[in-house]
Amino acid sequence: MSRFSAPIAESIWDMKYRLKDAEGTPVDHGVEDTWRRIAGALATVEKDPSDWEDKFYGALEDFKFLPAGRIIAGAGTARSVTLFNCFVMGTVPDSMAGIFDMLKEAALTMQQGGGIGYDFSTIRPKGAPVQGVAADASGPLSFMDVWDAMCRTIMSAGSRRGAMMATMRCDHPDVEQFITAKSDAARLRMFNLSVLVTDPFMEAVKADRPWDLVFDGVVYNTVRARDLWDRIMQSTYDYAEPGVIFIDRINSANNLNYCETIAATNPCGEQPLPPYGACLLGSINMAKLVSNPFEGDAALDEDMLDDLVRTAVRMMDNVVDASRFPLPAQEEEAQNKRRIGLGVTGLADALLMVGLRYGSEDAARQTERWLQAIARAAYLASVDLAKEKGAFPLFDAEKYLASGTMQAMDDDVRDAIAEHGIRNALLTSIAPTGTISLYAGNVSSGIEPVFAYSYTRKVLQKDGSRTEEEVVDYAVKLWREKFGDVDLPDHFVNAQTLAPLDHVRMQAAAQKWIDSSISKTINCPADIGFEEFKDVYMAAWDQGCKGCTTYRPNDVTGSVLSVAEDKPKAAPVVQPVEVGGVVHLTEPLDRPVALEGNTYKLKWPDSEHAIYITINDVEVNGHRRPFEIFINSKNMEHFSWTVALTRMISAVFRRGGDVSFVVEELKAVFDPRGGAWMEGKYIPSILAAIGGTIEKHMIAIGFIDGEGLGLKTDPHADPVSGLAAPKGKACSSCGSYEMRMIEGCVTCANCGFSKCG
């Protein structure tokens, strides 16, 4: 009997987390093998590995403890990847050589699968003099463009693309340009942006005082603080960015404020980190710990919670020793402080199961109590580890206990730390859990509300047919199994119906016992007024949050999934429209003995030798589709990359599904040395020309309808006029227009792709 409660869960496991060999043959035959692989790998650093492996397996079993995806996919595989999710890179020097040294470090980190954060406040503003070269500085945004281009060229480990966070202080002279950078739809697409907001700035906003924009002691401009605040608000109202990070609050509450200063976060904001800081993530699945759900005596099993947290802390501490690191400075930082980020997922489902309405005062109080229990268990577990293995190297009892977070900790925990030390400097964080929540049976994500009770996905199968599956929220599925398809109780709420200030209340309640930060998105209705929108951010500040991220659907950023209105039941059904027919298969399509195909000659101007491209097709249900490609040239300078393209594109073709995205990816590549004019069109690179050839072939066999028409129809088009409605950004993985903001990160509801990993 399958451990998976839904087909989508098994699909996610197979696509993202299941260990396979180089030929794509599964090594993990079942999810139990995945749990055993992780448990064994993390037990190897123990003195008695066999004593701990079964304990670790028990925590993973049935999705009770969910390590972050990088741990699930990478632990025990012998692959050269990092198991850490989050990195903040070194301080960017204000020099050309230093800046490009940082760029190299960023590339090396992203190559191993790490998401990174950078503070660009250290680069002098645009127009500032550059000594020795008789020139003016181009400013931090120009260098951010370079980072953005680099990120687009790096494919992170496995199926993860790079993700980056850029921060800038609210007093930097270029902050106004930073705030509005995303108004250019083509700029800084690989970055999340956040403004570092200081306590003095917020005081100036409230008092309506002037605000100096300063660099290196020089005042470049003075603005009205409220005007600058309104510019931040207007940009995030229009484009969902930048976010706001209350940086002074973060530093004052930091357990390590005596030995580090934080100026940046990881891409989703839940990990404020110092230079070269690294953190790994994991989540307690609250939905799995509720006994007698929906009954009068429904309750979270707090004994089970305590035991699970203690095991999880030990597992995560072991990751520090078991993981590889892209850079020595990151390893040193991790070993010196042994930061971990244990959080939760399935919180909204757990609240539903015990009869509480997410966003209510009662739910906020219960959330605070549950997270206090997690914090206590985590800190006491870390004290026990310190007794056994030693405190983190930079531990200073007097200074540590005087930090902001520790002052609010229970006396017995403080006494234990004073006597024995603590193994991990920081222990709690609430991270985005979109994909691992699906893997665990579509439990609610992180501390977010249930986004939708159910929706349908269309999945293209190996034989070319499409099946439609309903994806149901975990708590709703339990309700249906228990009571049938009847109306849901009044306390069932979702992101479509929740007031923005209810989101803030929940984030603030959770933050009290989280020593790092929280990745959360406050969903706002499209018609929310600007003044009411600003009130959300001020409420987040007033209630003690460390940051704030909102999402308001509009024509620029796209809409959240629409809720069908024709279903009479209380559970609204979300209908994501399939675009591109994304498919995730466990095995490649089988190759027949003989295939039909075509060979195309491509002559790039100024090149001595032509490139010959052969594309062979397979027939599925009477339709031809690309199956493999061969790219050949007599030019030996082309040899390595043509072989690489041949192997990679063929591997993509053989997986089935809508592979037209290959065309768009290749056609978007530009050569910095310049492109060429071919048949009356400017082609930006030889790779783009190859993409055009593949597109021509796809058109010829009827796989796509025409040039630039990888999608056969536009499901968003008006049925009368035929004109496409505003769709926002397309998913770079499957091409669908079902992108939405979850926990500070834009995520595709159709295929689960997230630019934050």
Instruction: Render pLDDT for 432-446 as a digit per residue (tens, 0 to 9).
Output: 888 899 999 999 999
Residue 467 has pLDDT above 80, yes or no: no
Give me the pLDDT at residue 709, please: 54
In the annotation, is 268 catalytic? Answer: yes
The predicted model gives 341-363 an average pLDDT of 97
Pick the range with the lowest mean pLDDT from 275-284, 578-587, 621-630: 578-587
pTM of the model: 0.77
Q: What is the rounded distance in angstroms from the CA atom of residue 631 to the CA atom of residue 611?
A: 7
The pLDDT tens digits for 46-69 are 999 998 999 999 999 999 999 999
Residue 160 has pLDDT above 50, yes or no: no
Residue 590 has pLDDT above 90, yes or no: no
Residue 423 has pLDDT above 90, yes or no: yes
Q: What is the rounded distance in angstroms from the CA atom of residue 485 to the CA atom of residue 161?
A: 40
Residue 730 has pLDDT above 60, yes or no: no
Give me the pLDDT at residue 152, please: 73
How many angstroms separate the Cα of 612 from the Cα of each of 62, 627, 642? 51, 17, 10
Give the chain's radius of gyration (CA, Å): 26
Catalytic, out of 254, 255, 266, 442? 266
Give me the pLDDT at residue 456, please: 75
Residue 223 has pLDDT above 90, yes or no: yes
Side chain identity at 96, as an amino acid letter? M
Q: What is the rounded distance in angstroms from the CA atom of residue 609 to the CA atom of residue 618?
A: 30
Side chain identity at 267, as an amino acid letter? P
Give residue 307's pLDDT band: very low, low, confident or very high (50, 70, 90): very high
Nearest Cα neighbor of 142 from 127, 162, 164 is 127
Report the 10 Å Cβ neighbour count for 673. 6
Pick the range with the lowest mean pLDDT from 486-500, 550-564, 718-732: 718-732
Q: What is the rounded distance in angstroms from the CA atom of residue 522 to the CA atom of residue 350?
A: 20
Report the 10 Å Cβ neighbour count for 530. 12
Residue 99 has pLDDT above 80, yes or no: yes
Give residue 736's pLDDT band: very low, low, confident or very high (50, 70, 90): low
Nearest Cα neighbor of 108 from 157, 52, 167 is 157
The predicted model gives 753-757 an average pLDDT of 59
The predicted model gives 485-510 an average pLDDT of 92
Nearest Cα neighbor of 666 from 618, 727, 728, 710 is 710
Residue 550, strand partner residues: 522
E strands of 339-465, at which residues? 340-345, 454-460
Contact by Cβ (8 Å): 417, 381: no
Catalytic, out of 270, 331, 448, 738? 270
Between 589 and 445, where is the model more confident?
445
Give me the pLDDT at residue 461, please: 54
Give me the pLDDT at residue 567, please: 37
- CA angle 669–670–676, rounded 5-degree value: 120
The pLDDT tens digits for 163-174 are 799 999 999 999
Token readout for 558 is: 């796209």
Residue 121 has pLDDT above 80, yes or no: yes
In the annotation, is 270 catalytic? Answer: yes
Task: Find where tokens 């539903």 sit.
Answer: 352
Residues whose CB is less than 8 angstroms from the CB of residue 414 and which lie 6 or more positions away in sequence, other chains included = 401, 406
Task: Find where tokens 């968003």 sit.
Answer: 716
Catalytic, out of 86, 151, 268, 524? 268
Domain boundaries in the chain? 7-82+277-420, 88-253, 596-700
The pLDDT mean for the chain works out to 85
Contact by Cβ (8 Å): 66, 433: yes
Contact by Cβ (8 Å): 410, 379: no
Residue 182, strand partner residues: none
Task: Find where tokens 């994501």 sit.
Answer: 576
Residue 575 has pLDDT above 90, yes or no: no
Give me the pLDDT at residue 452, please: 86
Residue 182 has pLDDT above 70, yes or no: yes
Residue 455 has pLDDT above 60, yes or no: yes
